[in-house]
Amino acid sequence: MDLFRIMLKDTAGRPRLGTSDNMLGARVGVDVRPDHEGLVHPARGGISVAPEDPARFPPHLRPLRLGGACGLLLFRITDAVLGPNLAYRPDPKKPTRHGMVEPAASMLLEGYQAALAATSSAWTEVP
């Protein structure tokens, strides 16, 4: 399944790594909430993506060329290349419009951030 995310890009043309809402990385307290041991867990949140069709983004996040108001770049990845440490989970409240790339198993927050960063070269900019 294709997954889409709005992000800034770095000088190499890949998604910019970081913990802002428009970067490839999770925001602590927003996207993920580590437990008292610093672990993040499956099915408890991750970075937001739109499944299958970028027109499913809400208007404020939808790219200009798709009738939205967002001037940032659109990137795509397939769930098949997320690797063993990450998993895609549809949002139970709106499964056709929103989902999350979450930890596949309980892991330290730093491990989750590293797993997200490791996908950087697999994201492609959608013209």
The predicted structure's pLDDT at residue 19: 95
27: confidence class by pLDDT, cuts 50, 70, 90 = very high
Give me the mean pLDDT over the 40-62 stretch: 92
Rounded Cα–Cα distance for residues 78 and 4 (Å): 9
- Tokens representing 106? 């309980």
Average model confidence (pLDDT) across the chain = 94
93: confidence class by pLDDT, cuts 50, 70, 90 = very high
The predicted structure's pLDDT at residue 60: 87
The predicted structure's pLDDT at residue 61: 85
Beta-sheet strands, E only, within the chain = 2-7, 39-40, 47-51, 73-78, 86-90, 99-103, 107-108, 124-125
| CB-CB contact of 87 with 77 (8 Å) | no
Give me the mean pLDDT over the 56-66 stretch: 85
The predicted structure's pLDDT at residue 124: 96
Give me the mean pLDDT over the 68-72 stretch: 84
